[in-house]
Amino acid sequence: MALLQIAEPQQALPKKPQRRAVGIDLGTTNSLVATVRNGIPVVLADEQGRPLLPSIVRYGESVEVGYDAQAAQSHDPHNTIVSVKRLMGRGLADLSDARRFPYRFIEAPGLVQIQTRTGIRTPVEVSSEILKALRLRAETSLGGELAGAVVTVPAYFDDAQRQATKDAARLAGLKVLRLLNEPTAAAIAYGLDNGSEGVYAVYDLGGGTFDLSILRLSRGVFEVLATAGDTALGGDDFDHRVYCWILEVSSIGPLSAGDTRLLMMKAREAKENLTLHASAPIVATLSSGETLSLTLTVDTFASITQTLVGKTLGPVRKALRDARLDPSQIKGVVMVGGATRMPQIQKAVAEFFGQPPLNNLNPDQVVALGAAIQANVLAGNRAEGEDWLLLDVIPLSLGLETMGGLTEKIILRNATIPIARRQEFTTFRDGQTAMAIHVVQGERERVADCRSLARFELRGIPPMTAGAARIQVTFQVDADGLLCVSAREQTKGVETSIEVKPSYGLSDTEIARMLQESYAHAADDMNARALAEAQVDAERIATATAGALQTDGGLLLAPERDAIEHALAEVRRLISGEDRRALQAAVDALNRVTEPFAARRMDRGVARALTGRRVDALN
């Protein structure tokens, strides 16, 4: 007998208990954790009432995270890790600014490794300590274990950086409900808080990364139209410009690692002071006993960082072009990240869009608040009547390598995720029983100019003539922006797949470079693609002709064979060259001279098929 829940008339059913879910903004400079209480997103503070957690970890006698670690930056720089977000998903060989960091890096392949007092640590491990501290803060505040968390990442984080972030969260004991792009999280918080509708730009300048996203907000639907950015541009770079200015205008001697870290801290303090003041003092006592005393003015700061401000406007223009919009069509610009407080940033954005940016939400907290709203929904806490939909995009095209080193794009950049796309491919040679599948990411036409993500093989293809096999390749990108690729041979049904977890290690500017070069070299790429396609086609025809001569050469008279072999030699000579028109002409000549030969081969094939069969048996 089933038990039914019965209530008196007009008596409300008991409320479903809320599941504890949080949103986490894992930042370069500071990190935050937020949740939804009574339908309102709030940032969770520590025991001292501080909402921010400095993204700093010190490995000493014990592991210190946050403010305790921050105090040790100058006297223990080798074991105090700051700005670790900039190292996520990177290899040592790819860090063009490795000397900026005072760490003892280990020369080893793969992910960056740092020698500390307690052993070798990776950025994933360091980030997990920050996330663990936020998890413990949330569990203390909410009174129990978490059901899950939404962790934010820059929109322009590549697969390696996203995977590293997810690994760090798992290592910290978090169940990751979703990785959410930071500008999208900010748009959620802003849109739901203000009930806004229309097309908005989210200008997200954090400590280490920059993103610009264009979103359409309409009746609870958050649709990302385009995204662009720079994973190696942020507030840290402004600090470094001030640090370089200090060295230029002062006559201080050689600096120790501790002195360098101290001056970087002073540079950051001066930058933050200039947000509200016309000048900022820089006073420091170095390890040598030397005292430094300077004054940085607003005008000087604007002058030495002018190029950095300009660098943020490149992705802004790119995103607008992708969305097919101009600045006048943007209803508002939402500012995200503590670095957007700089007056020169506010001024540049206002001048570019022709309107003052929106600053009514705390730029430090807006990402965490949006992530908390998304986590609350994913945990199953959606309130009655609350109905909204999030449509995010993928930042770079995904595809695979085809013959001739060409890129065949399967999923185009700015496609809405999650997404799945299928495309059929075939074999190149007769009897081919395996296919190597090379997954790449980027906008260029040639594989050599794109980024390699993964390689795997499909084996067990039934031997057939070239072009007869049908191989269906499926690309699936989940809501976190992570990719899975599968390949299936349609006749026999053999299948293989791979979850793409790229090896850590790329240059910080690679994604931005990919997009810039895709435009700068568009014409060259198309010409190169046309040449490569002609070469592949010529190789296929040459191989087929050579095989036909070997098996059915007896159908030809000596002069005919000589003419075919001469035309075939000309095609092979031109295949390795750069003259596409000459190659195409040679292929056309080979096709013409082999036409009689092809007809005789067909006649012989028909004759063999009919031998021994009665005419009245033929349908």
**Which residues are annotated as catalytic?**
25, 85, 182, 204
In 64-103, which positions are buried (b, 16+ CB within 10 angstroms) versus exposed (e)? bbbeebbebbbebbbbbbbbbbbbbbbbbebbeeeeebbb
**Going by C-beta distance under 8 Å and a sequence separation of 6 or more, which residues neighbour residue 336?**
182, 183, 186, 202, 203, 204, 205, 206, 363, 366, 367
For residue 418, say if its preceding peptide bond is cis, omega within 30 degrees of 0. yes
Structure tokens at 330: 């943007």
Question: How far lies 575's CA from each of 289, 345, 405, 535, 546, in Å?
Answer: 70, 53, 14, 5, 15
**What's the full length of the chain, in residues?**
619
Per-residue tokens: 519: 């435009």
CA 218 to CA 600: how far, in whole Å?
Answer: 67
In 3D space, the residue among 532, 533, 531, 567 whose CA is nearest the CA of residue 548 turns out to be 567
Q: Are 244 and 296 in contact (CB under 8 A)?
A: no
Element (H or E) spanning 475, and its range? strand 471-477
- Assess contact for 233 and 85: CB atoms under 8 A: no
Q: Helix or strand or coil: residue 482?
A: coil
Q: Which residue in this structure is represented by tokens 């793969």?
A: 110
Structure tokens at 427: 């074999």
The CA–CA distances, whole Å, from 412 to 241, 298, 393, 416, 528 equal 37, 43, 10, 9, 20
- What are the structure tokens assigned to 60, written together? 């000493």
DSSP class of residue 574 equals H
Residue 290, φ and ψ in degrees, nearest 5: -70, 140
